[in-house]
Homo-oligomer: A and B are copies of this chain.
Amino acid sequence: MFYAVIMAGGSGTRLWPLSRKSTPKQALKLIGDRTMFQHAVDRLAPLFTPDRIFVVTNAAMAEVLRPQTADIPAENFILEPVGRDSAPAAGLAAVRLLKRDPNAIMVILTADHYITDTAQFRAALAAAGQVADTGAIVTLGIKPTYPATGFGYIQLGESQVIVDGFRVYRSGGFKEKPDLGTAVRFLEEGRYAWNSGMFVWRAARLMAEFEAQMPDSYAALTRIGDALGTPDADRVLAEAWSATRKVSIDYGIMEHAADVSVIPVDIGWSDIGSWGALLDVLPGGEQGNVVDGQFLAVDTQGCYVHGGDRLVATIGLKDIIIVDTPDALLVCPRARSEEVKELVNRLVAQGMSEYL
């Protein structure tokens, strides 16, 4: 059977001051009246029934997310004792799924990205599931629309097959975030896709990669899997978890895996990695302004206003982002929202952790 595993343990401050350590992006209602996590769950239906949707996160975040998805069984929330990056998280899901279904095929998904063409997304997942069923590791690559320097890339190797209309390529290798010149070349060559962080594989295949590439992690994960369902489960998890190698799927698994396939997709994907990126997927209203909250404007265009309980009033602004939270306010041009990380760095440097 085919299972979805949503990685929802991350924290981040790229949408500061709204996203904080305690309320990361997946917990925020950024688009419409659903949280990013709810969007991530919503778009899986009807391909995955709720009992085949799993969520890897931490205990605190599970408290936040569980009430948002009444249909997903509570036991499908897989709790990491502490975050150890995405490879151990995927391994934890794999041993859990293998306990239930030795033939489990699993897709690793993110909780804080956005996809506009959800039908195409599900069709691509179904196709990727068929390829993974043969034993391959499959990754969904996003067809690039601009020379992004903020994403990793996957090179497209030889074309292998067409499944349900999706052309499947052999991976030509993963590339780290490029500089602009390299990104332009990637776009021009047309043989690269963005690494979306969405991977599909048999759970058993993932474990085989752990065994081959990270034997210590494999041993730890196997111990954890063997203890599942026994009274020792929690104790073993707590003990063995710290023996896993803290590494991402990209570096820990994909870089040296054989038989990796790529399916380039065009699904309206965004990582919502900045306020500007969020704005790109939100429909503008009057004067191209995107407004959440009470807003009074004189000659104001292309602005994003995320208000709280207060009235936000503007005069003569263009393409400015205003994010109003109870304890912090951000004002910056739309084109410079990537620099929020610089603000966050300064908060860290100045010990103003109450704002993080």
Contact = CB atoms under 8 A, between A and B. Distances in A.
Interface of A: 17, 296, 298-299, 307, 309-317, 320, 322, 324-333, 336-337, 339-340, 342-343, 346-347, 350, 352, 355
Given A317-B331, A331-B322, A352 B311 contact: yes
A325 B312 CA distance: 10
B342 A315 contact: yes
A343 B320 CA distance: 18
B330 A314 contact: yes
A353 B271 CA distance: 41
A343 B333 CA distance: 22
Contact of A310 (B312, B328, B343): B328
B17 A343 contact: no
5 contacts: A309-B327, A310-B326, A312-B328, A313-B343, A322-B331
A316 B298 contact: no
A312 B296 contact: no
Determine which residue in A327, A329, A337, A355 has the highest number of CB atoms from chain B within 10 A of its CB, and name it: A329
A312 B336 contact: no
A342 B298 contact: yes
Determine which residue in A315, A317, A320, A322 has the highest number of CB atoms from chain B within 10 A of its CB, and name it: A315
A331 B320 contact: yes
Nearest to A327: B310
Contact of A327 (B311, B340, B342): B311
A324 B320 CA distance: 17
A268 to B, nearest CB: 28
Contacts of A299: 339
Nearest to A343: B313
B343 A329 contact: no
A77 B325 CA distance: 42
Given A296-B346, A310-B328, 19 more contacts: A17-B313, A296-B350, A296-B352, A310-B327, A311-B352, A312-B328, A313-B329, A313-B330, A313-B331, A313-B343, A314-B332, A315-B331, A315-B332, A315-B336, A315-B337, A316-B332, A316-B333, A317-B332, A329-B329
Nearest to A340: B315
Contact of A296 (B315, B320, B333, B343): B343
Nearest to A323: B313
Contacts of A328: 310-313
A299 B325 CA distance: 22
A312 B329 contact: yes
A310 B322 CA distance: 14
Determine which residue in A296, A320, A337, A343 has the highest number of CB atoms from chain B within 10 A of its CB, and name it: A296
A17 to B, nearest CB: 7
Given A298-B339, A339-B298, A331 B312 contact: yes
Nearest to A338: B315
B355 A311 contact: yes
Given A296-B346, A296-B347, A343-B298, A315 B333 contact: yes
Contacts of A315: 330-333, 336-337, 339-340, 342-343
A307 B329 CA distance: 10
The 9 tightest CB contacts between A and B, nearest first, are A315-B332, A311-B328, A316-B336, A315-B339, A312-B329, A314-B331, A298-B342, A313-B330, A316-B333
A144 B9 CA distance: 64
